[in-house]
């Protein structure tokens, strides 16, 4: 009797192991990147720079290039250096990947990024990103939090999007516009396609390079570092205008323009502000500038602008970007850089970790092949996102109950219910079946809800907005543009 039960137990064990092995071959490796693990880790440790490699000074383009190349050579297993293009004056637009898998995308793990110095005379972010690089690579073997972050995330860091503007900026200049623009006099943060209003400004090499970059990499989360204020500003930056006259007075009425993901954007902004040494206090940089409650603001509620980078990335590609204004003085003296690093170090790390919140997964066909560029949206949140060539998707969401709508050309659409919890991301694998064919051989019609919307954005879903793509070439548009430029030169 005992011998027979031993044989039966052995067969059950063998069968169970076979089933586990078979099941694992049917799905991609599931990521271990969860907030539960993150919460169990000790806080990131303070970083003390080694002046042999990097000091708290401003670096010109040649010095910046040497540092990036030297870091990539010293840490070949953690970094990969590439350029997305060149500025008007021929300076490389460098990006350094910092990750335990720097040369290739890690299946099931998100790509995130920071972009600094989009305004050339706001270089604090440029220097902090260099120190962030040094902090990450030098802490990987000794800091558990950093190791977790780099093992589960690919971090793309662009220290300077506007190296030409930086070259003509002057240290110690807190206000004004010298160096703000690129070499042709264009404000790069007013040079992207706009959701609410036709942007007729000619595309610049720097913005064209960024547009091409983000079209090729499915970024989940992004931060753009600026100066001139102390606040985390979230989309939308622009707002629909009922009339040309309203566009002028919109600057002063400061009406919010909220996205369907307003709860998430507020949360992301608060993560940065609350981990910052001062931002969440709502510090007003000058008596003439506003104080921001909890250190965050909706962009349009502060002042509306056309052609901003964060709105473009969100509407066109589903990437959640927050504009981080990190210094009251645009170009403070170099001796203050250490203080800025100490204020922002924890915020910069904790913000990136938020890419591991919400829902993530894969979209397959019936043969377990990944479906590329499947279109998805969270029901009730009409800004969509798409799958990568590996069928992956991510969406940052707060705890709650949601429905995911999935569509791909040639497949029947699906709607899946799921729950997001605080402790870890929800893993969701979706299988789509081919659409049924009619007697004539054509695919059966699909609900209008799932039809791609014509227009520049490649995404399936966009929020309904009055006047999308409309332009206003009147004198009021010029006046509004001038007022916004004056305001942004003074305050951010």
**258: Cα within 13 Å, side-chain hemisphere:** 8
Which among 356, 397, 357, 398 is positioned nearest to 376, based on CA atoms? 397
Q: Are 459 and 386 in contact (CB under 8 A)?
A: yes
Q: Which residues of 62-100 are buried (b: 16+ CB within 10 A; e: fewer)?
A: eebbebbeebbeebeebbbbeebeebbeebbbbbbbbbb
- Tell me if residue 293 is catalytic: no
Candidates 38, 122, 325, 405; catalytic one: 325
Evaluate the CA torsion angle 185, 187, 190, 192 in order and state its sign.
positive
Q: Are 280 and 218 in contact (CB under 8 A)?
A: no
Q: Are 322 and 219 in contact (CB under 8 A)?
A: no
Q: Which residues of 120-147 are buried (b: 16+ CB within 10 A; e: fewer)?
A: bbbbbbbbbbbbbbbbbbbbbeebebbb
Q: 173 in the Ramachandran plot: left (φ > 0), alpha (ψ -120 to 50) or beta?
A: beta
Give the total residue count for the chain.
Answer: 492
Active-site residue list: 325
């Amino acid at each position: 009797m005992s011998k027979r039960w031993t044989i039966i137990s052995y067969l059950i064990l063998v069968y169970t192991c076979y089933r586990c092995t078979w099941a694992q071959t049917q799905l991609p490796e599931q990521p271990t990147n969860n907030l539960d693990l993150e919460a169990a880790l000790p806080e990131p440790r303070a970083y003390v720079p080694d002046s042999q490699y990097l000091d708290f000074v401003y670096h010109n383009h040649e010095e910046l290039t040497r540092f990036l190349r030297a870091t990539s050579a010293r840490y070949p297993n953690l970094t990969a250096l590439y350029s997305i293009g060149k500025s008007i004056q021929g300076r490389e637009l460098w990006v350094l990947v910092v990750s335990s898998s720097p040369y290739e995308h890690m299946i099931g793990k998100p790509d995130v990024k920071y972009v600094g110095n989009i305004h050339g005379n706001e270089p604090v972010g440029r220097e902090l990103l260099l120190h962030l690089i040094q902090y990450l690579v030098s802490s990987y073997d000794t800091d558990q939090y950093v190791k977790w972050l780099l093992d589960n995330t690919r971090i793309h860091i662009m220290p300077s999007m506007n190296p030409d503007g930086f070259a003509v900026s002057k240290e110690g200049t807190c206000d004004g516009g010298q160096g703000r623009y690129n070499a042709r006099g264009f404000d790069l943060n007013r040079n992207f396609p706009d959701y609410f209003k036709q942007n007729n400004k000619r595309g610049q090499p720097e913005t064209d390079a960024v547009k091409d970059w983000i079209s090729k990499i499915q970024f989940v989360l992004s931060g753009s570092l600026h100066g001139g204020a102390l606040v985390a500003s979230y989309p939308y930056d622009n707002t629909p205008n009922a009339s040309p006259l309203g566009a002028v007075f919109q600057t002063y009425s400061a009406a919010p323009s909220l996205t369907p993901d307003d709860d998430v954007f507020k949360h992301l902004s608060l993560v940065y502000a609350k981990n910052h040494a001062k931002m969440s206090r709502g510090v007003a940089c000058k008596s003439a500038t506003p104080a921001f409650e909890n250190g965050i603001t909706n962009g349009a509620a502060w002042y509306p602008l056309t052609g901003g980078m964060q709105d473009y990335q969100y509407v066109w590609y589903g990437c959640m970007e927050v504009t981080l204004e990190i210094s009251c003085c645009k170009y403070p003296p170099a001796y203050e850089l250490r203080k800025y690093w100490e204020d922002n170090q924890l915020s910069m790390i904790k913000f990136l970790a938020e890419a591991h919140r919400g829902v993530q997964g894969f979209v397959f066909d019936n043969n377990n092949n990944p479906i590329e560029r499947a279109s998805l949206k969270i029901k009730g949140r009409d800004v969509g996102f798409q799958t990568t060539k590996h069928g992956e998707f991510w969406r940052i969401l707060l705890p709650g109950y949601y429905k995911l709508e999935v569509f791909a050309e040639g497949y029947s659409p699906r709607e899946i219910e799921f729950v997001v919890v605080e402790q870890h991301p929800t893993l969701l694998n979706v299988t789509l079946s081919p659409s049924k064919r009619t007697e004539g051989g054509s695919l059966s019609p699909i609900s209008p809800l799932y039809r791609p919307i014509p227009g520049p954005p490649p995404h399936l879903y966009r929020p309904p907005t009055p006047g999308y793509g409309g332009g206003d070439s009147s004198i009021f548009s010029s006046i509004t543009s001038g007022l916004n430029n004056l305001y942004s030169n003074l305050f951010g």
